[in-house]
Amino acid sequence: MSLLDHLTISRCSLYQYQIELTPYLPVGKQRIDCRKGLVLEIQLNNQQTAWVEIAPLSGLDINSQVISGFSQESLAEVQWQLQHVLANLIDQPLAILNDMAQQMSLPSLAFALSLLDAKLTHKLPIRIDNPHTQSAVVPLLYDGMSIEVMAQKLLTQGDINSVKVKVAQTDMASEIQFVYQILAIAPHVTLRLDANAGFSLEQAIDFLACLPKHKIEYIEEPCINPNDNRQIYRQLGIKYALDESLNSPQFDLDVALQQPGLGALIIKPMLLGSLEKLQNMISQAHLEGVRCILSSSLEANMGINDLRLVSQALTPDESPGLDTLSAFTQPLLLATSELSPQLNEQVLEPLMHIGQARDSNKVN
């Protein structure tokens, strides 16, 4: 019997947060001005404590329109589910977290529970072992961003090899000019273009034909009609990546991996589910020679910190796409002089506490 077999859950705490964003962040072609989510904290009978951020990418944009194309579940659904299951965790063995993660139909909750299990059983790396890839920043850039801001992102964030550029959002001429401005400031970078299914096939080909092909790693979700994506590869030799498609109920990974021109899967764990599901997807893709790149769902700094470790564990040779924190007006986790960071109580509202608190030994 291992030491883990003696560990049980002694306390559960649930909080909600809301953090304003400046500037607004893009969600596809939409924009959001605040981020809402939950924090789940679990304490064990040996005083170990871990927390996770749960923030489905759903809700309303700045125009009070429903965010489309990302999380299928609402934050309210996740909160309701948690409030009905947390009481059942008290005095249960630690293994129940991973068991529940496999049973959850809400992807953000399945990911969170499996992540808690990984933290408390020390399955995640405690440091970044591949700094060239894992510590490299992939700046998020989009037309309308000032030259000053773009230059700051490209020149002052350390080791930058790739940039993510939102396209198919304004007019084609402006976006082509914007891409060339990026390459003028940082000629060494390669481009991860993201069209959010905004182009017709003809528009995508016209747009890409105006750019230096050797600088393009791939274009995410290029076409309104996903069946047109492979034609881009056939006509131009430029690979495409899938992002939002992975979250569709109709998505078939086996079929997708056999399509010509698929270069990468852009994996947003908050939208897809448990670590086990992610690992299976990544292993299957790698067998077919398809890259897998972890990407944020606009989480606060708690979630981003965790995604760095998940990326190190699951995709150590790829630089994750996590450049969204600068818009957050406050952190969810506060850096302290102690070994462990602290929750920022200014942005948190307690929802429930179940079980008995003990002096904690945090593993976050």
Same domain, 111 and 174: no
pTM of the entire structure? 0.92
User: Which of these, 35, 42, 43, 40, lies nearest to 17 by C-alpha position?
Assistant: 35
pLDDT tens sequence across 64-99: 999 998 999 999 999 999 999 999 999 999 999 999
Examine the domain organization and report whether 118 and 140 are in the same domain: no
Q: 300 phi and psi, to 5 degrees? A: -75, -175
For residue 359, what pLDDT is reported? 58
Both 110 and 137 in one domain: the answer is: no
- Kindly report the average pLDDT of the chain as a whole number: 92
309/352 same-domain check: no
Q: What percentage of the chain exceeds 70 in pLDDT?
A: 92
The residue-averaged pLDDT of 113-119 equals: 97
pLDDT tens string 197-246: 999 999 999 999 999 999 999 999 999 999 999 999 999 999 999 999 99
194 and 225 both lie in a single domain:
yes
**Judgement on whether residues 245 and 166 belong to the same structural domain of the protein:** yes
Question: Can you give the residue range of the structural domain that contains 92?
Answer: 3-123+330-362
Cβ within 8 Å of residue 354, ≥6 positions away: 11, 12, 13, 86, 87, 89, 90
What is the structure's pLDDT at 156?
Answer: 78
DSSP string for 104-138: -SSHHHHHHHHHHHHHHTT-S-SS-S-HHHHS---
CATH number at residue 63: 3.30.390.10
Q: What pLDDT, on the 0 to 100 scale, is given for residue 202?
A: 97
Looking at the fold, whether 203 and 254 belong to one and the same domain comes out as yes
Question: Which residue in 217, 237, 289, 233 sits closest to 258, CA to CA?
Answer: 289
- Helices 301-314/275-287 angle, 10° precision: 40
Structure tokens at 206: 């016209």
Q: How confident is the model at residue 356, as a pLDDT?
A: 79
